Amino acid sequence: MPRDRLWPAHPPPFPDELLSSWIVRIAHANAIKLQTLSWQLFGNERSPWNRDIDRSAPPWLLRALCVHTGCNYWDAFHTTLVTYRGRLYPRRQTSGRLSWVLPIKGHGMRRTAFSLQFCPACLAGDPVPYFRKTWRLALFTYCPEHQCALYDECPACHSPVTPHRGDFGRELTDARPMHACVTCGTDFRNVPCHPVAFPSESLRVLCEAMLRSIMSATNPADRFDLGFFRVLHHLCGMICSRSNHRLLLRHLTASLGYGDVPLLPEGRIGIEDLRGDLRHRVLMCGLWLAEDLERRLTKAWQAKAIRYNLMLKGFRRPPRWYGDVVASLSNWRSSGS
């Protein structure tokens, strides 16, 4: 690689860093506005900010970054969400809903969805604050390291977290740092940490093990494989579904001892569309089912909280172990009705 093509500052990606976060840090380190760097590097016709570059970064973008930073291609590749393919979702998709990935909505550099989360304790502890890949996942509602709930908005002005807009419309000397809200300037490192609640200790242990498994650099052959995450995603989809008038949600919240039934948004939604505490509750309901699937799904079916035909609806090629549990419920006479 020609050394004279390296930028003056070429910081490598940090562990678990998002591609978008890395690019912002590169621009800051070189004292250049992010949009200027993007225009010079990619051209106005191929601006990376009109897409979800963390989800679907094209190879030419990664190669260009490697040329100017001296970074190994696969180290750059591992800043993208594509690395979860085969673990959280079966195949790469450039559009549409992607299982467990919080969706980006908006136009150009503007964002309207709450697709990026953060842990204030992590940002405060970073010598150089940066945003993690796991903060784009719907599975992460809290930080396993600091045991506090993740924020998916600025707690002061309730704007989406958009660190790539820190210098947008501002002189470079007035740009917001990546750890500050681009709208009101709130320092995310200083916002309070809130503990996260679990319905039971066993669910806390299960959730902790699941998140640690995702964070692992290796792909261990444990229970948290692609089949597990596909079934958990399907269970959460059934919980969110309006097809059974949210009867399953009512049954599960009662079983877990929640004081009230959370009010879900209208329309066709998935776990990725839910915010903060609401997503945590639905995820706990799904994990509680998965913890003892045969017994608890059977009990929900017997309570008429879920119909048999919904258990496989839209679920293509489910794992055999899930299909066997559902098949055991196909005889309506055994429901006790």
pLDDT digits (tens, 9 = 90+) for 75-115: 999 999 999 999 999 887 766 789 999 998 755 555 567 89
Bridge partners of 150, per DSSP, are none
Higher per-residue confidence, 136 vs 217: 136
What's the CA angle centered on 167, arms 162 and 168, to 5 degrees?
75
Distance CA 277, CA 46 (A): 37
Distance CA 50, CA 303 (A): 47
pLDDT at 246 over 80: yes
pLDDT at 220 over 90: no
Provide the pLDDT confidence category of residue 44 given band limits of 50, 70 and 90.
Answer: low
Mean confidence (pLDDT) of the chain: 88
Distance CA 145, CA 164 (A): 25
Which amino acid is located at 272 in the chain?
E
The answer to whether the beta carbons of residues 100 and 229 sit under 8 Å apart is yes
Provide the pLDDT confidence category of residue 2 given band limits of 50, 70 and 90.
Answer: very low
Q: Which residues contact 283 (CB under 8 A, 6 or more apart)?
A: 138, 139, 141, 207, 236, 271
Stretch 14-43: mean pLDDT, rounded? Answer: 87
pLDDT at 209 over 90: yes
Q: Which of 198, 304, 184 is nearest to 251 (CA)?
A: 304
**What percent of the chain stands above pLDDT 70?**
90
CB atoms closer than 10 angstroms to residue 150: 23
Distance CA 19, CA 17 (A): 6
The answer to whether the beta carbons of residues 134 and 87 sit under 8 Å apart is no
Q: Which of 208, 279, 219, 233 is nearest to 84 (CA)?
A: 219
Nearest 10 degrees: Cα torsion 214, 218, 220, 223? 10
pLDDT the model gives residue 106:
59
pLDDT at 179 over 50: yes
Provide the pLDDT confidence category of residue 226 given band limits of 50, 70 and 90.
Answer: very high
pLDDT the model gives residue 46:
67
Distance CA 126, CA 316 (A): 42
- pTM for the full model? 0.92
Q: End-to-end alpha-carbon separation of the chain, Å?
A: 72
Bridge partners of 148, per DSSP, are 143, 195
Q: Over the stretch 271-327, which tens digit does the pLDDT of each residue have? A: 999 999 999 999 999 999 999 999 999 999 999 999 998 999 989 899 999 999 999
pLDDT the model gives residue 331:
63
pLDDT at 15 over 80: yes
pLDDT the model gives residue 219:
58
pLDDT at 134 over 80: yes
